[in-house]
Every structure is written in structure tokens, then in C-alpha cells.
Amino acid sequence: MDPNHTQIELTTENIKLICHRHYGAGSDGILYGPIISGDEIKLRIFNPDGSEAEKSGNGIRIFSRYLLDAGYITSDSFVLQTLGGQVVVEILKTSGELIKVNMGKVSFQSDVIPMLGDSREVIDEEMKFGDEGYNVTCLSIGNPHCVIPATDISEALARKLGPLVENHSDFPNKINLQLLKVMDRHNIQIEIWERGAGYTMASGSSSCAAASAAFRLGLIENKVAVHMPGGIINIEITADGFVYMTGTVDSVARGVFTDHFLKQLQ
């Protein structure tokens, strides 16, 4: 949603209605921008429950494609500001179909994630969700993630564990869940439960988080393909700790809200 063309107050209730798959447009969230201040381009990201997200890897790529298509940018590299920090975007194909994003550095530090308890790096730490114990690695890449390695992962398991992990009392800002299966040293598979959104077929920041956790645990090399039900994203972790995400973006549709719907949002 471009605030330069559509003036809508994004209250919690308005966001929920817009994202509702039966009564609204239907969406996993809203990318609100560009918010332009001088040379700075800012993006705000809202979950379908009305909460605001710090960062979204897929969202950043989608939004970057919009900036290119709408003529806001003409260069093949630019900086984008998010609530979760600054990211550098590189357009690898002039059509915008392949985009690379420097997602920044991850932190495994508990007070950065944030996570309750003593200040520590949360690496391969045992936690209990429901009646089961799991070894977790938690981190922040501008938004919080909990990665659980497993030999067998599924949508059903993500839907079962997701709410328990997201709302666990140790995570004061809630958290995203990734179930991680290592296929080989260059390929991993994940199932995702997103904070404020629920089960998700693909996620850029989740791909970065899962790859970073697997790399820290010594399970993979620094370049890996992340396989999800919604597609594949390539992740590279550089020697200086930056995480780069490369993936495709496909345009689907453009639209306008009707006057009738806009009246419901007032």
C-alpha cells in the first residue's frame, strides 16, 4: 500500500479487515510505503493481526520490486529503512525478477532477541513447549526467531508447536518459529510459524535465521539453499557475519479499494 496514493489510517481493526481473506483483500500482511524523507526510503510492515513487524525478507524483496516498477528507484542498488534496521538491496535483473538483500548481522544474544533469563547466547538450549522438550537456537536478525532442528518436519508439527513457541513466556515480544531439517551441507528444509501471522509457506527472514542457526551449529556451509513449501531462497553468510538473501519476485496484480470498502475502514 503506497501512502503517496492511498490515504488510509492503519489502525489494528483496519489492518485486520484489509488482510481478511473473506471480507477484505486477503493478505499475509501489509507493506506500507514508500515513506520518503529526503533521500531516505522507509518501509513499515504490518502483520494480519494488526501488529507491526520489524523486518521481513520476502516483504523487502516484494517492496523493492514495487519501487522499481513504480519508478521510485532507477539504480540497481539502494538502501531501505525498516523498523528492524537498514538493509541494502541489489537488483540482479533489471526486470526486478531476482533481488539480493543484505539483511544485516544476526545476534544470538538473549537480551537482543529478546529472551528472559541470564544474559547469554541461546545456542542449542533445551526448552519445553507443551509436554515435550526441544533443543532450540534463538536469534535476532532485526526480528526474533526460534530454530528447532529435527529429523522430521511437517506443516502439522509447525501448526502444533507454532502457537506454543510464539507465546512462550520466555519471549516477551513473542517469536517466529522455524523447524529445521538439514538435507546436506548446502541444502536445508524449513517449516515456518510466523509471529502475528501463523503458518507461512515461505519467509525470507526465517530462511536467514534458520541458515544462520544451522551454520552456527556447524551443520552446513556458509552458502545454502533454503527449501520451503512456497519456494527456494539462497542464503550466504559472509566471513564478517553479514547474511545475504537472494530470491525471485513475481508480480501478480494491481488494484484499488472500492468506495464501499473504504467507508468500512473509516
In tens, the pLDDT along 82-95 reads: 999 999 999 998 77
101 DSSP β-pair partners? 89, 245
pLDDT of residue 116: 97
In which residue are the cell numbers 541489489 written? 90
Query: Domains of the chain (ranges plus CATH)?
Result: 12-103+250-264 (3.10.310.10), 125-237 (3.10.310.10)
Residue 187 is labelled as binding a ligand: no
pLDDT of residue 93: 80
Q: How far is it, in rounded angstroms, from Cα 6 to Cα 105?
A: 34
Residue 222 is labelled as binding a ligand: no
In which residue are the cell numbers 540482479 written? 92
Contact of 235 with 245, CB cutoff 8 Å: yes
pLDDT of residue 266: 74
Residue 205 is labelled as binding a ligand: yes
pLDDT of residue 127: 98
Give me the chain's average pLDDT, please.
95
pLDDT at 200 over 90: yes
pLDDT of residue 182: 98
266 vs 172, residue with greater confidence: 172
Residue 58 is labelled as binding a ligand: yes
Largest CA distance in the chain: 55
pLDDT at 251 over 90: no
The mean pLDDT of 53-77, rounded to a whole number, is: 93
Residue 61 is labelled as binding a ligand: no
Residue 230 is labelled as binding a ligand: no
Which 8-state DSSP code applies to residue 145? E
pLDDT of residue 95: 75
Residue 173 is labelled as binding a ligand: no
Residue 167 is labelled as binding a ligand: no
The mean pLDDT of 234-247, rounded to a whole number, is: 95
Q: How far is it, in rounded angstroms, from Cα 124 to Cα 146?
A: 11
pTM to 2 decimal places: 0.87
**Helix 57-69 / helix 204-216 crossing angle, nearest 10 deg:** 140
Which 8-state DSSP code applies to residue 143? S
